[in-house]
Chains A and B, each alone.
Chain A
Amino acid sequence: MKRIIAIAYVVWLNLLRKKDLYVLFILLAALLVTLVSLNIFGLGHATGYVKDIGLLLTWIFGWILSISITARQLPTEESRRTIFPLLAKPLTRGQLIMGKWVGSWSVVSTATAAFYALTYLIVVGMGGHLTAPVLVQGFVLHATALGVVCAMALVFSTRMNSDAACTLTYVLSGASFLVVPRIPQLMAKETGLGSDLLLILYNFLPHFEAFDIRRRIVHDYGRMPSGLFALSLLYGIVLIASLLLIAWIAYRKKHFSRGSML
């Protein structure tokens, strides 16, 4: 465990010192304040609108952050050649992968928590209301979704450079988020092979909609039933564990030298 924490600590130091996070946070705050003050849709003073926009931006920023941070972890170790002194220590490749995931996910989750807090402060500042337990549930499920995205980026980065891993994770996670909830409707219009393919996609791709309770938060529908919440959480944990297992399988026999091995 100490080794995993040491690797995660390096991820934290890197991100804190590169200042990417601060820039993103300021950008989110500026965007949110501008949207509210410009009153583009004539709804600037309706707190529901602010909640909606704030949470949407939080999801978008969290998604971008998780992919851009995680996908470059392993490829940068290799291109910087710091992988050599690292693997010369009694550190297993599984511990390295786990450390990178813990580091990336904890940074992204902390940033996301700050985004939630910012949205909360703006809504409350405008005289609006946000139910704390629902917001906490929303954050926990959101952080779980980000854990899945981080693990997905890590899988691709074990065998690809950071650009390729980023692109593939954006496409796959974006498609999962936007397309998967609509597959049942599409299947109703398809028959034969098309329907079978859609069914495979529906079962194969992650269901990010299981982690998204923004509507419940915005419209104040109250807390998600505990059983359903636990099930969503369990689904996320299983997904993360499976993806990290795939990452470990892909990375454990990787050779670090000139040329590829037989």
Chain B
Amino acid sequence: MNTAIETRSLSVTFATSSGHVTALHDLNIVVPKGTVFGFLGPNGAGKSTTMHVLLGFIAATSGEAMIFGKDVRETIARQSIGYLPERPDTYPFLTGRELLHISGRLFELKKHIIRERTQSLLEKVGLTAAADRRTATYSRGMLQRLCLAQALINDPELVILDEPTGGLDPFGRMDIRKIIHDLRDAGKTVFFSSHELSEVELACDHIAIVAEGHVIASGPADTLVPEEENLERYFMRVVREHSDASRAKQQPF
């Protein structure tokens, strides 16, 4: 099994007060195992919806999604996933250490493993000194790092990061970048979305760009972007071209 994530004709439609909104249209992505995969798109493109389907928060209207060959609707598919949500929300009454302990218990890890991993992850994200403080006293950056630590407590094969550097200062962003590199070096698969295109350019092996629920460009990072462009310019161009084309389709005359 060389594929970490695979979606086939994945479609998601939401019912809203003004009708139906299709968030994903026949989305096909393949994330090879052991790669850092950047999932890009403008706001409302369907990035978070795709992640939510992969994590079982919402069900696809049609199509299928697999993680390491297992249907995402099966609980077992989440055994080898670590997830960092877009907003680092935690239980304010727990300490950082307790949050990691409880996360480990939810993966049914052995107590000594939880203890060891908690300690090493707290060191890795630079929260050892604040480990026994309640998370209510943490800054946004500290919460982001704690949530990243809880996403890694089960030593996951696949890490899904939704805007991992959002709200972080340059030092925090550098730490996250280092963690992503370490994960790649350890042979893990990282699937992440970000608006920080320079971050993506530095970290990713593969890139997919989504707009209006469609994959509009996808491929290895070093061949996808033409030499005369950087990722930011390429991104702006393909998104604009897609948007012009879909507008023209809607108003043919």
Contacts and interface: CB of A to CB of B under 8 A. Distances in A.
Q: Do A and B come from one complex?
A: yes
Interface of A: 2-3, 5-7, 9-10, 13-14, 17-18, 80-82, 84-92, 253, 255-262
Interface stretch (B8-16, B224-232, B233-241, B244-252): B8-16
A17 B134 CA distance: 11
Nearest to A76: B91
B78 A89 contact: yes
B105 A3 contact: yes
B118 to A, nearest CB: 14
B20 A13 contact: no
B188 to A, nearest CB: 16
B147 interface: yes
Most B CB contacts (10 A, CB to CB) among A84, A86, A253, A255 go to A84
Interface stretch (B50-58, B122-130, B215-223): B50-58
Nearest to B80: A90
B150 interface: yes
Given A13-B94, A84-B83, A260-B14, A91 B58 contact: no
B232 to A, nearest CB: 27
Contact of A81 (B75, B85, B106): B85
B55 A262 contact: no
A257 B57 contact: yes
B102 A10 contact: yes
B87 interface: yes
B15 A257 contact: no
A18 B93 contact: yes
A256 B93 contact: no
Interface in B22-81: 48-49, 52, 55-59, 61, 75-76, 78-79, 81
Contact of B89 (A3, A10, A80, A92): A80
13 contacts: A3-B105, A6-B102, A10-B102, A13-B91, A82-B91, A87-B57, A88-B78, A91-B75, A91-B106, A255-B59, A259-B15, A260-B15, A262-B14
Given A13-B98, A90-B78, A262-B14, A81 B58 contact: no
Nearest to B57: A256
Interface residues of B, number: 41
A89 B20 CA distance: 30
A85 B150 contact: yes
A5 B107 CA distance: 12
Contacts of B102: 6, 9-10
Contact of B76 (A2, A6, A90): A90
Contacts of A87: 55-57
Given A3-B105, A88-B81, A259 B57 contact: no
Interface string B84-109: 01010111011000100011011110
A9 B93 CA distance: 12
Interface of B: 12-16, 20-21, 48-49, 52, 55-59, 61, 75-76, 78-79, 81, 83, 85, 87, 89-91, 93-94, 98, 102-103, 105-108, 147, 150-151, 154, 160
Contacts of B58: 255-257, 261
A257 B162 CA distance: 14
A90 B109 CA distance: 12
Contacts of A6: 102, 105-106
Contact of B91 (A10, A88, A89, A262): A10
Contacts of A10: 91, 94, 102
Contacts of B89: 80-82, 84-85
A259 B93 contact: no
A8 to B, nearest CB: 11
Contacts of A85: 83, 85, 89-90, 103, 147, 150-151
Given A90-B78, A91-B75, A261-B13, 4 more contacts: A18-B93, A259-B15, A261-B58, A262-B61
Contacts of B49: 257
B105 A262 contact: no
B66 to A, nearest CB: 16
Contacts of B83: 84-85, 88
A143 B124 CA distance: 46
